[in-house]
Amino acid sequence: MSRHVPGPRARWAGAGAALLLLLAGLAILLAGYGTGMRLTPCWGGCRSGGELGTVLTALTPEQLSIVESGRWWFGHAHTLREGLGPFFNAQSCLECHDTALEQGAPRSVPGGAGRDNQVGPFHTQALHAGRTDPDGTFDGLIREGGEVRHQRTIQDLVPGCVLPPQTVPPDAPFVSPRQAPPLFGLGLIDAIPDEAILAQERAAKPDGVRGRANLGPAMDPFVNDHVVGRFGWKAEYTSVLQAVADQYFVHLGMTSPYEPMEITTPRYWVPNAPAPQISELPEPCRQALAWPYEANAKGEVVLALAEFVRALRPADPTPSPAAERGRQVFAETGCAVCHLPSYTTGPDPDAALANQPVPLYSDLLIHDLGPANADGIVAGLAHGSDWRTTPLWGLSHRPYLWHDGRFSAGRDGILGAIRAHGDEAAVAVERFAALDAADRDDLLAFLLAL
Ligand code: HEC
Ligand code: HEC
């Protein structure tokens, strides 16, 4: 999905430009409040960081202003003039990442706006597809518009433009609906050193659990300080910046210095082939894309979006005696072998992120969960049945569980998710099934309090 595009990690660069963008957007933002956009404004309110949807403490005023600009862009419905399309899935990040957290509300509201934008049988917002080529390699449909299918095109917005959305080619057997994860705490995960995850990969593990770090040449085209994948359902992204730049490109069709080439026709980026050109698009679709968008061309919007995501603070667990007992049962059952209780961040230029505990309940490694969970999609070192251990922090705020959103939140959904683990998790799941009722209830109380 991502490509090799060298570029510096210019965090906080372009602060002045981001501020200008912020001011430019302020009027539209105020207008947006009347139209159902439920973002909590940061001005003054984001500093203290006590509630979900607020940002980490210890941000400088300069950082806060970039974060606020990023928050604005996150909810903004992008226009043609700003570079939307030609193929896209949504006009804003918030259309898919719409849990309460991103809206700044204290608890999640199952069935938010974007949750109706279903592309699979469950509550999913994106569709990945692919096939195995005759030589045995995975093909993420790179000649047909890419692995992530685009449900919309600018034909919805440009009179006379005929540009049908992408479907799944009949000879692509792998179809993988994915839900958009909530984005809380990602800055802390970003700041975990590669070495800590690699040490966890090497550590001896009981119960036949293996676990691999997702890394390789396909990873990390943008940043030089991480090579270990940690974001995305298959740990296919190494950093928040990489994830955000790719999401901006893949779902909104927004190019940037990080993702400079347009998806034009069905054609997409192919190694060693000429880049697709806007000129390949039919008229009058092409004319609608003729405006260059300066701010985005310099990457400031991507940086502001990334800083907003990095600044979102994680949820606080709700302590109780049952939850405390359940934490113990969780460890004894073998869940914590993969759902590692915590990592610690390394030194980081951001004081808010440096040397912090990260109680995420994930090892950030990919694990084989067996054929029942195989979607056939390859991402870096992750194969069809490999998935990243989902961080369980904030579980009680997630409206749906599992990569394809097949379980609802709450006790029954959690029980379903536990039963759905296979292969590497089989021993832990068997142990869970053998727990007496009191221990099982404590374990669930622990999870529901996260
Ligand atoms: C059409 C729906 C959709 C839109 C729009 C969208 N995303 Fe996503 N996002 C997803 C899905 C689905 C995933 C999971 C990707 C995968 O399969 O690994 C994801 C993953 C992410 C992740 C990694 C999260 C994690 O915990 O691993 C980040 C960060 C992210 N998105 C940010 C953004 C930003 C910023 C925008 C706007 C520029 C955006 N997304 C727009 C659907 C969407
Ligand atoms: C071998 C590693 C492993 C073990 C052991 C394991 N898990 Fe998981 N867990 C995962 C992976 C990988 C996923 C992501 C599955 C997916 O979405 O495809 C996951 C997902 C989950 C989810 C769904 C989270 C969400 O938001 O979608 C819950 C809940 C969960 N695990 C709880 C548990 C419990 C409780 C135990 C112990 C009985 C356990 N897990 C044992 C690897 C493991």
Picking from 106, 15, 107, 103, the residue whose alpha carbon sits closest to that of residue 67 is 15
> How does pLDDT run across 49-58, given as a tens digit for each residue?
445 556 676 7
The residue type of 148 is V
- Retrieve residue 286's tokens: 């092409």
359 lines ligand 2 (CB under 6 A): no
181 lines ligand 1 (CB under 6 A): yes
Query: Which of the 8 DSSP states describes residue 213?
Result: -
Distance of CA 3 from the midpoint of ligand 2 (Å): 29
Distance of CA 141 from the midpoint of ligand 1 (Å): 20
CA neighbours closer than 13 Å in the CB half-sphere of residue 23: 5
Q: To the nearest whole percent, how much of the chain has pLDDT over 90? A: 50
Low-confidence ranges of the chain (pLDDT < 50): 1-50, 101, 103-118, 269
209 lines ligand 2 (CB under 6 A): yes
Whether 297 and 243 have beta carbons less than 8 Å apart is answered as no
Distance between first and last Cα of the chain: 32
pLDDT for the residue numbered 110: 36
234 lines ligand 2 (CB under 6 A): no
Q: Please choose from 93, 259, 308, 362 the residue to mutate so as to test ligand 1's pocket, defined by most ligand atoms within 8 A of CB.
A: 93
> Residue 129: what are its φ and ψ, rounded to 5°?
-150, 155
pLDDT for the residue numbered 123: 73
Please name the residue whose Cα sits nearest to atom 41 of ligand 2: 335
| Closest ligand relative to 234 C-alpha | 1
| Strand-strand pairing, 174-178 and 138-139 | unpaired
pLDDT for the residue numbered 56: 72
Q: Please choose from 389, 395, 414, 424 the residue to mutate so as to test ligand 2's pocket, defined by most ligand atoms within 8 A of CB.
A: 389
pLDDT for the residue numbered 145: 83
- Retrieve residue 369's tokens: 């969960």
> How does pLDDT run across 330-344, given as a tens digit for each residue?
999 999 999 999 999
CA 101 to the chain's CA centroid: 14
> How does pLDDT run across 126-152, given as a tens digit for each residue?
999 999 999 999 999 888 888 999 889
Phi/psi-derived region of residue 6, left when phi > 0, alpha when psi is between -120 and 50, beta in every other case:
beta
Ligand 2 atom nearest 424 alpha carbon: 1
C-alpha pair distances (Å), 289 with each of 94, 234, 247, 406 = 23, 33, 20, 38
Distance of CA 262 from the midpoint of ligand 1 (Å): 19
pLDDT for the residue numbered 122: 65
178 lines ligand 2 (CB under 6 A): no
**pTM for this entry:** 0.88
pLDDT for the residue numbered 7: 35
179 lines ligand 2 (CB under 6 A): no
**3-state SS class at 138:** strand
> Residue 31: what are its φ and ψ, rounded to 5°?
-60, -35
Phi/psi-derived region of residue 302, left when phi > 0, alpha when psi is between -120 and 50, beta in every other case:
alpha
Distance of CA 160 from the midpoint of ligand 2 (Å): 48
pLDDT for the residue numbered 38: 29
| Closest ligand relative to 148 C-alpha | 1
Please name the residue whose Cα sits nearest to atom 40 of ligand 2: 335
> How does pLDDT run across 187-201, given as a tens digit for each residue?
999 999 999 999 999
pLDDT for the residue numbered 12: 37
pLDDT for the residue numbered 174: 95
Ligand 1 atom nearest 124 alpha carbon: 12
Rounded Cα distance, 175 and 132, in Å: 12
Distance of CA 179 from the midpoint of ligand 1 (Å): 9
Cβ contacts of residue 210 below 8 Å, gap of 6+?
A: 367, 368, 424
pLDDT for the residue numbered 211: 98
pLDDT for the residue numbered 41: 35
pLDDT for the residue numbered 45: 35
Distance of CA 369 from the midpoint of ligand 2 (Å): 9
Whether 345 and 352 have beta carbons less than 8 Å apart is answered as no
Angle, vertex CA 127, rays to CA 125 and CA 133, nearest 5 = 165
The DSSP line for 218-245 is TS-SS-SS--S--BSTT--BSSHHHHHH
Whether 310 and 240 have beta carbons less than 8 Å apart is answered as yes
